[in-house]
Chains A and B, each alone.
Chain A
Amino acid sequence: MRNTGISGDIGCTVEELNAVFLSRQIADGERALVGANVPVPRAGVLLAHLHHGPNMTIMLAHTRTNLFDQPVMPNFVSLTDWRQSRWAESQYIHYEVFDAFDKMTDLFAVGALQVDPFGNSNLIGMGDDCERLRFRGPGAVGTPSAAVSIGRYYLYVASHDRRIFVEKCDFVSAFGWGEGGDHRSRLGFPGGGPRYCITPLCVLDFEERTKRMRLHSVHPGVGVDEVVRSTGFELIIPGRVPQTDAPTAEELRLLRERVDPHGVLRTRD
């Protein structure tokens, strides 16, 4: 294992920085789903809850709960580890998610094998022949439904290179902004689309009118040219690109003491 500490001056890892960025996107009172085996989005949601979200509802392993007063959060790694139900205030049957997705969660994090300039993403697989994919992924679970049903979502990728950020995905599973512009509203989708794409190098957002991907901020120690080099399509680069805001001492304390006491975000295989 190696430490992924990125910069002495902010004193945290890229994973912690990204979890903090996500947590700041979540407001008190919101409902948020915590997936299993997605450590950064999980930490982001739980940090928002503990830091500024006493009225949030957390969806955890097919239950809903509020963990604000829980002193510790054991990191159960399996979505089907039923010990998590000890905190449940209610349970939901899996298909109820799709009966009223917007009532289950206000936001969602979606991973991707590929992402295109309009935030459309691929969890199906790679190749030319869909009946015999060169690489078949594990499947898109419920993300295609989430992408058209809930208020907003966040793309999260654990690496940033030209194989992931491509001009055109081999296949699209989660609709982003489609062909850009008003494509989403023309199709009548109630959901709000991807808000940010969070990567190990930077945070990307979408230009308001065209919905093309734009550099929002670079992580400490990362240059704009490195992001451009690592992206397989042309990004919109604003005149001034800020650095991603560093975590506060209080955010880091909560993250390390209560959300991630085992240091999953501080180590990497």
Chain B
Amino acid sequence: MTAAVRRRERIIGAAEAADFVHQGMTVAVGGFINSGHPMPVIRELIRRKVTGLTVVGPASGGLDLDLLVAGGCVRKLVSCYFGAETLAPISPMIKRAAERGEIAIFECDEGMYYAGLRAGAQKLPFLPTRAGVGTSYPFVNRALKQFADPINGEPLIAVPAIRPDVALLYAAQSDAYGNVQHVGTSYGDRALYRASDRTIVCAERIVSNEEIRRDPAKTSIPGADAVVRAPFGAHPFASPGFYLADDAHLREYLTACSAWVKHDDRGPLQAYLDRYVYGPEDHIAYLDEIGIRRLVSLGEY
């Protein structure tokens, strides 16, 4: 008997999503500072102790990247900001690891970052920027090359293509076929999708295909390879239109980090990871640990 020919649904679990990621890969992570990071998959990667990743963060990364560094997953980071605004002027674990030479940082600014992603999407070796000319960037990042443009002879910086193997994104909703719609601007997520071989989206909710067709102009990622059902999937970060960042939880993480950074006591950070990352067997168990009262209190209005 032959199977009926029908459109394939693309919904998978966070564990299956993490199966896409292997040691040493280049992985893009979407969102922006304190918002929109694909946390169920991030925590699963840390739980599995995947190592040696080059992580292409958002143009301005948040503590999601810091958590990946704390979990020992990262070899190299690509982003132009590592912090949490007023909560943390700088990401503590990234600062510590970078200053100790434990991770490499692809130094660039946001203009260069998008030039690299655009070159990746266009399968070009590089794209030029003016940003960086006359600065330290070509010296602190040897992959950036100053050259004379062949049209007018002006000095420009060649930013090499950034081509992630997998993009891990978070968005408000998707149908079962990977038609993804963000609430808000989607930050740089579309650029990460275009540059990456494959894209997995954690969706706050799965909606019908008809719901997507009601407003196709809202579809920001028209072809995610897989979609993870992820209610409260950006927690402890914000989800535009759904909930605010859980500042109290982020402070809990930062306090745990500072015990290590300032007092050389890794205990509190290990306790944080045990409780929120290694302990819960899956995303729902994580939400249980956070508690419904806290989660509901974060609703945006």
Contact = CB atoms under 8 A, between A and B. Distances in A.
Q: Do the two shown chains form a genuine complex with each other?
A: yes
Nearest to A147: B131
A92 interface: yes
A77 interface: yes
B99 A136 contact: yes
Given A144-B111, A189-B130, A139 B36 contact: no
B33 interface: yes
Given A138-B90, A148-B133, A130 B139 contact: yes
Contacts of B139: 130, 171
Q: Is the interface of B mostly helix, strand, loop or mixed?
A: loop
A44 to B, nearest CB: 19
A178 interface: yes
A253 interface: no
A101 B129 CA distance: 12
Given A81-B238, A93-B185, A175-B133, A131 B81 contact: no
Contact of A188 (B154, B245, B300): B154
B95 A172 contact: no
Contact of A139 (B34, B79, B85, B238): B79
B137 A139 contact: no
A98 interface: yes
Given A77-B85, A78-B245, A83-B300, A95 B136 contact: no
B136 A78 contact: no
Interface string A74-108: 00011111110100000111110110010000000
Interface string B172-189: 000000000001111110
Contacts of A140: 80-81, 109
Interface residues of B, number: 64
Interface in B31-74: 32-36, 59-60
Given A124-B107, A173-B137, A98 B183 contact: no
Nearest to B188: A94
B280 interface: no
Interface string B74-104: 0000011111011001110011001111001
Given A95-B188, A132-B99, A175-B134, 19 more contacts: A36-B86, A37-B86, A78-B34, A78-B85, A80-B35, A93-B188, A95-B114, A98-B110, A139-B80, A140-B81, A141-B59, A141-B110, A142-B59, A143-B109, A144-B135, A172-B135, A187-B133, A188-B152, A188-B154
Interface of B: 32-36, 59-60, 79-83, 85-86, 89-91, 94-95, 98-101, 104-105, 107, 109-112, 114-115, 117-118, 129-137, 139-140, 152, 154-155, 183-188, 190-191, 237-238, 240-241, 244-245, 300-301
Interface of A: 36-37, 62-63, 77-83, 85, 91-95, 97-98, 101, 120, 122, 124, 130-145, 147-149, 169, 171-175, 178, 183, 187-190
